[in-house]
A and B are shown apart, each in its own frame.
Chain A
Amino acid sequence: MNQFAIAAMGTDRPGIVAAVGEAILGVGGNIDDSSMTILGGHFAMLLVVQVEGDADQLESTLRPVAEKFELMLEVRTAAMHPFSDVDRDDYVVAAYGPDKPGLVSTISRVLAGADANINDFGSRLGADHTFAMWFNVSLAEGTDTAALGEQLRAEGRDLGLDIRLYRAEVEDL
């Protein structure tokens, strides 16, 4: 079996995931990992699948689904990982404030400067225009978390952002 990443994006409507899933199952594939969301009416999905054959074969399998739902489709060979989310999101950056341009840019620039890798990132915009976002990050070894937290808060202050850097809580029960 080989592992592939599939990216699909298009106007959202019911049945897209079902059609993609059916096509993958039809060629004996297994979905190892997935992420899907809808933003501004746009459906976007990233799948990691294991299946026999090469990327071109998988793409031809999915092409009819992409055409039916008018999806942008991209298939790439992926490095084999049993599961991609193991032990990596060790820190969370929570930031929120009145919405304005530059909030994401500022925080991500500070994180990049500290060599932190953003593993997951998402935001929510409230009805009263509070923009809130969470970055799940891996910090570079030896990172001074207190200094990074202070730097984030200092940069955020000018933008009216409240920012907190904290270790993701893991419950070993």
Chain B
Amino acid sequence: MYPDARLKTECDPVELPLDDATRAIARDLLDTMDSFPGCVGIAAPQIGALVRIVAIDVSGHKKAVSDHGRRVLVNPVIVSRGAERVKMREGCLSIPDFTGNVTRAESIVVEAVGLDGAPQRLECDAYEARVVLHELDHLDGLLFLDRVQHARDVFPRKRYQ
């Protein structure tokens, strides 16, 4: 949780091939994601691991168009972004004080290594693209507050739900 300094730290790439320690972090990410109802994504620094791993799962979400299901992305890189940009109100487990309007690409292509060690290339759009971009920001020490452009785009909330 913010203000934990690990949330503001750039994470290190994972050394390949994957070792047991990395797989343990990935499992912990998935378990943590499962422990929060409705959680659609989580990044390693959110559980205190400063490595470039995120987990996403937008399965069945009503705003999802592309839906790659439950995925662990190791060393993910955005290789392209569509020109269209959309504003959406985001919240985050790690900064429960606020929600905020953030403009992000509507579609992206992300390349990563999967939990099985195989390269993956995901074409994501709409809600899934938003989740991936939000989680990848965590790997660079960026919270959605760093993407907001105006105080009027931020809304305090009483507690995370």
- Count of A-B contacts with CB under 8 A? 66
> Using an 8 Å CB-CB cutoff, how does the interface string of A37-52 with B read, 1 for contact, 0 for none?
0000000000000000
CB pair B3–A134 under 8 Å, yes or no, is no
Question: Is B146 located at the chain interface by the 8 A CB criterion?
Answer: yes
Question: Is A96 located at the chain interface by the 8 A CB criterion?
Answer: yes
Residue from A121, A125, A130, A169 within 8 A of B2 (CB atoms): A130
Complex Cα gap A133–B2 (Å) = 15
CB pair A168–B154 under 8 Å, yes or no, is no
Question: Is B63 located at the chain interface by the 8 A CB criterion?
Answer: no
| Residues from chain A with Cβ under 8 Å of B151 in the complex | 120-124, 132-134
Q: How many residues of B contact A (CB 8 A)?
A: 23
CB pair B2–A136 under 8 Å, yes or no, is no
CB pair A92–B149 under 8 Å, yes or no, is yes
CB pair B98–A120 under 8 Å, yes or no, is no
Question: Is B159 located at the chain interface by the 8 A CB criterion?
Answer: yes
Question: Is B62 located at the chain interface by the 8 A CB criterion?
Answer: no
Question: Residue on A with the closest CB to B103?
Answer: A169
CB pair A160–B156 under 8 Å, yes or no, is no
CB pair B150–A128 under 8 Å, yes or no, is no
Q: How many residues of A contact B (CB 8 A)?
A: 26
Task: Report A's interface with B, CB cutoff 8 A.
Answer: 92, 94, 96-98, 120-128, 130, 132-134, 136, 160, 162, 164, 166, 168-169, 171
| Residues from chain A with Cβ under 8 Å of B159 in the complex | 127
| Residues from chain A with Cβ under 8 Å of B150 in the complex | 92, 120, 122, 134, 136
| Highest count of chain B CB atoms <10 Å: which of A92, A96, A120, A160 | A96
Residue from A97, A122, A132, A160 within 8 A of B98 (CB atoms): A132
Question: Is B70 located at the chain interface by the 8 A CB criterion?
Answer: no
Question: Residue on B with the closest CB to A168?
Answer: B149
| Residues from chain A with Cβ under 8 Å of B8 in the complex | 162
CB pair B103–A171 under 8 Å, yes or no, is yes
Knowing A98-B3, A124-B154, A171-B103, the reply to whether A130 touches B98 (Cβ < 8 A) is yes
